[in-house]
Amino acid sequence: MVSSNFTTRNARMEDLPILLDFEQQLIKAERPFDITIREDPVSYYDIKAMIDNDDACVLVIEHEREIVASGYAITKRARHYLDHEFYAYLGFMYTHPNFRGKGLNARIVESLKQWADSKGLAEMRLTVYEDNIPAVKAYEKVGFKKHISEMRLE
């Protein structure tokens, strides 16, 4: 259970240096799962643009004025054959190693779910490397279910 010493809030521009570091930590952690990630420098997200985007929500969790976790949701158009037109896509889910196992990921997901609901987005999706067992378990714990597998051939 998350203690009251943690505060969830919207990211601000002044958070950008920390968030860019979190992004690099994510990339470093995911490299063993994906040999196709280019060599550095590489970036996954345009965090700066998402902070100012009404169709996105970038959240951070603070502990004693230090940012220790992050995540975002962004509105995406669904494929034309699905039963929903738009959905919330989650990403940038990162928790500093010293704060893992404290329910912070669940707290971010719940807050992003509230944001998605406020935008009328009933569907939430994310991608996770199948071999990243801790991440898969964390997402399953908050209600996500495996839906489709992407495969590749060299």
Please give the model's pTM, rounded to 2 decimal places.
0.93
At residue 134, what are phi and psi to the nearest 5 degrees? -60, -40
What does the block give as tokens for 132? 């990243």
Cα distances from 13 to residues 34, 96, 135, in angstroms, run: 30, 20, 27
User: Within the chain, which residues score under 70 in pLDDT?
Assistant: 1-4
Residues 112/72, Cβ–Cβ less than 8 Å: yes
Between strands 6-10 and 86-95, the pairing is unpaired
C-alpha 60/C-alpha 8 separation (Å) is 6
Between strands 6-10 and 56-63, the pairing is antiparallel
Q: What's the pLDDT at 3?
A: 59
**For residue 78, what is the DSSP state?**
P
C-alpha 6/C-alpha 22 separation (Å) is 18
What does the block give as tokens for 114? 């509230």
Nearest to 17 by CA among 54, 66, 52, 63: 66
Q: What's the pLDDT at 148?
A: 92
